[in-house]
Amino acid sequence: MLGPKELSVLIPALESDDGLRKHSFGLDDGEGSFSKVCLWRQPGNDITGMIFRARKMVDTAEELLGGEVYHYHTKLMMKEARTGGSTAWHQDYGSWYKNGCLYPDMLTVLVAVDKCDKENGCLQVIEGSHKMGRFDTIKVGGQTACDPERIDQAAKLLKLVYVDMEPGDALFINCTLLHKSDQNKSPRRRWMLISAYNKATNNPVKDHHLPKYSPLMKVPNEAILACGNKTDMRGKDFLDPMEDKTIHHPKKLAVM
């Protein structure tokens, strides 16, 4: 989804101390480790905004969901070498249901910034689990996770897949697909950009910490490389983790 030239522009922008990373916070995995997360509600006009407003991203989301979509949120998930925390088994809709989104007409696209494999705690999915509907949720560390008994039953019936990804690869997943990732105990970091799209007809019925529908201004794919804005974050509307009721006891982290 992102070629070498696009990655060569994106990665320095993500690594800059003057950009996204200064808005990051820690997310407890309940097992003694933390991941760093930065989440924003509006795509903005920087290079990450161009990526998730680009037609190759948005048109794919609209084809999969069957209609107009809008930007629900994007986050940079930073799981550092040897210290990056795990992500518990969950469905994205487990949280979004509580936000007043009545239909599971939502999806997530995960874009690998670094190589992702089993060694550095890549994404795991239970293939076909999106057909099981919404699971009950529990709190695990700072995360909203799925009922473990139900997970065990799903794992007995369906195939577990480790999702190997090269930098620039993108994976689109249904909002009810069961997925997780392990701690990163390897000497390699694992960063990933994760963006959520909601169908325009699924406008949330209540106000919450993520946005209601507003038209998404698509840009041509060429806008990614043409973007000269690498660190101007105006208009992105970063999330203060204290606003998010689905995060339990978040901790601020210094930029590393």
- Residues 145-198 have pLDDT tens digits of 899 999 999 999 999 999 999 999 999 999 999 999 999 999 999 999 999 999
Q: List the CATH number of the domain containing 27.
A: 2.60.120.620
**CA 50 – CA 228 distance, rounded (Å):** 11
Q: How confident is the model at residue 143 (pLDDT cuts 50, 70, 90)?
A: confident
DSSP string, 216-238: ---B-TTHHHH---SS--TT--B
Q: How far apart are CA 47 and CA 79, in angstroms?
A: 21
Out of 11-25, 135-149, 189-203, give the one with best mean pLDDT: 189-203
For 75-129, how does the pLDDT look when each residue is reduced to its tens digit (9 = 90+)? 999 999 998 889 889 999 999 999 999 999 999 999 999 999 999 999 999 999 9
The contacts of residue 161 (CB under 8 Å, 6+ apart) are: 124, 125, 126, 127
Tell me the residue range of the domain where 227 lies: 4-252
The number of domains in the chain is: 1
Query: In angstroms, what CA-CA distances link 172 with 40, 84, 187?
Result: 19, 23, 27
Q: Find the largest Cα–Cα distance for the chain.
A: 49
